[in-house]
Chain A
């Protein structure tokens, strides 16, 4: 039964395999690399490669685990532990978290510096896809 569930989970995840990293269309950027995206989301850098300030938007949805797994290859627990350690020092904070893709889309549409991730299926013309994670 558990094996079946795991298989199901694998199937669903593979079904949702593609995550799109999006930004405001006004933000004219060359397509950033996976490393550059990772640096922004994990607080290593606070700017885009073009030097503009970057505002990463995180999610609380299940897509979050998928996004970080695709981006870093690490489980979400490790990412959480990382942030917990940084927060413990009180010297930095993790990206802003929103409930779902629509909220992400809304913030990206409205904010020129924002960068977020959504399921590829929810991408529309109002945002600019920087990177597709499979």
Chain B
């Protein structure tokens, strides 16, 4: 390649010289031709002038004597000269002689000589006219120009050859020598070009010096580059080993999420241990490993739009029975050299962290639940305390008042009984009033009993109690207005209770009469019973369709002396609660204003009976 270049340079130089010589030769020839033509034309004019001088007197004689022969002689003599194209002789007596050469040439300016009489004083007797021969001038000029062109071409050619050989010997050869030496030198080595002895002080010497300086600089640069490269290699190795051995999975994705490059750890992190880097490349990353690929795609879109590194926790696809793992995925949007979108990122296993978080969450929930429970218990305990305190106060009053009222009431009851017995034939009004007195005494006795029951509950004497029987007995004792329908649904298979029948009867009776009183405009009273086998409890629901209660009313419902009824002293539900609790049960209430009220009484099942069934 270098040789071809060298030859080309020579050829270019030679061609340039050739064309320059040709152009110069042509140019000088053209100039020479023009100047020669002009010179010859002028010379011809001078020669014609001389010729005319020579023949003038003879021509004058011919014109004077109108002698045709002499005239023709003169004209022929003129035509013998190459540079005369045409000669003409005329005189004032009608003589006109013409001699012409047969050449075809452009017309030239003719020369006219006036002929005077040889004897008269300036008497014009005729004219002698000559047309110069241009062909002659042209030929002469062309000849001269050709000679000059040849001459100059030879001279220029010779000069060019000399210059070429000089250039070759003093420039090209040393240059080739320098070039060859330069080819033999490896850049970055200690070798340098030899100084050319003949060219130590000229441009070539300068060039060799410059090249040597350049080689010095190159060597320095190479050394620096070499050390830099070593440094880069060591950093690359470190990075590569980091890339290979890190516990995090590293990946590069194209715009559609297909994997372009991964580190060996990625497969393991994704829970796909069989997938090597080679197998992973080309797969669609979001669809390959994640339970919700759309979340990763969304993350990529976000990272691409914001040019930010963004990260989220992602759940992996569960494979088989193994529980699915979690990874934290960091993605940042990039562009490659061609401007196409790329995503690079890191995933690392956060399954343990996730598990811990879940545990903490569960524990928190449990804790909250316990706190709520405990708060509820505290509130209940507080309520209970208040109730107990009230009951204690009530107890002190009720104890003495109740005791004091009971005996008079018993006396009054006996007295009425006596009157009814002794006056069987009394008129109807007396009988009616006696009944009224008897009813009111029973009511008062009940109030007193309730009062006493509410402050000092007797320990229950538990026995097996059939709910159905007890309920039937209770309903018999209750006076149900005709506007109220009572529906009750007690399964045949309902297990028996283990409770004090007297106390539970009072509980039922209080709840049923409360329900009836809550429906002054009439309604439906529903009673349902169901067994809770797991808790070994029987739940009894008493639902009315009455006026219902506000939450404030519900809160104070079981406190003594709280009542919503016009006639009542607020002890019925206190008794219900006391007695239920005494029998190992609970009582709950649900109500909304206008929606009616539901009381649920839970009482322990008769364990022996349950086992039997």
Contact = CB atoms under 8 A, between A and B. Distances in A.
A91 B68 CA distance: 9
B120 A35 contact: yes
B206 interface: no
Contact of A85 (B58, B69, B119, B121): B58
Interface string A91-130: 1100000000000000000000000000000000000000
Interface of A: 35, 38, 42-44, 72-74, 78, 82, 85-86, 89, 91-92
Contacts of A73: 119, 121
A82 B118 contact: yes
Contacts of B119: 38, 42, 72-74
Interface string B66-88: 11011001000000000000000
Contacts of B484: none
Given A38-B119, A82-B118, A92 B61 contact: no
B65 interface: yes
Contacts of A85: 58, 61
Given A38-B120, A86-B65, A89-B70, 6 more contacts: A42-B119, A43-B65, A72-B119, A73-B121, A82-B61, A82-B118
A82 B66 CA distance: 14
A66 to B, nearest CB: 16
B64 interface: yes
14 contacts: A35-B120, A38-B119, A42-B64, A42-B119, A43-B65, A44-B64, A44-B65, A74-B119, A82-B61, A82-B118, A86-B65, A86-B67, A86-B70, A92-B65
A86 B67 CA distance: 9
Nearest to B68: A91
Interface string B113-156: 00000111100000000000000000000000000000000000
B120 to A, nearest CB: 7
A89 B58 CA distance: 11
B177 to A, nearest CB: 86
Nearest to B62: A89
B428 to A, nearest CB: 216
A72 B67 CA distance: 20
Contacts of B70: 86, 89, 91
Contacts of B120: 35, 38
A91 B67 CA distance: 8
A107 B509 CA distance: 218
Contacts of B61: 82, 85-86
Interface centre among B64, B66, B119, B120 (most CB of A within 10 A): B119
Nearest to B125: A44
A78 B117 CA distance: 13
Contacts of B69: 89, 91
Contacts of A42: 64-65, 119
A94 to B, nearest CB: 11
Contacts of A91: 67, 69-70
Contacts of A74: 118-119
Contacts of B58: 85
A92 B67 CA distance: 8
Smallest CB-CB A-B distances: 4 pairs: A91-B69, A72-B119, A89-B70, A43-B65
A38 B65 CA distance: 12
Interface centre among A35, A44, A82 (most CB of B within 10 A): A44
B67 A89 contact: yes
A82 B61 CA distance: 8
A82 B58 CA distance: 9
Nearest to B117: A44
A74 B64 CA distance: 16
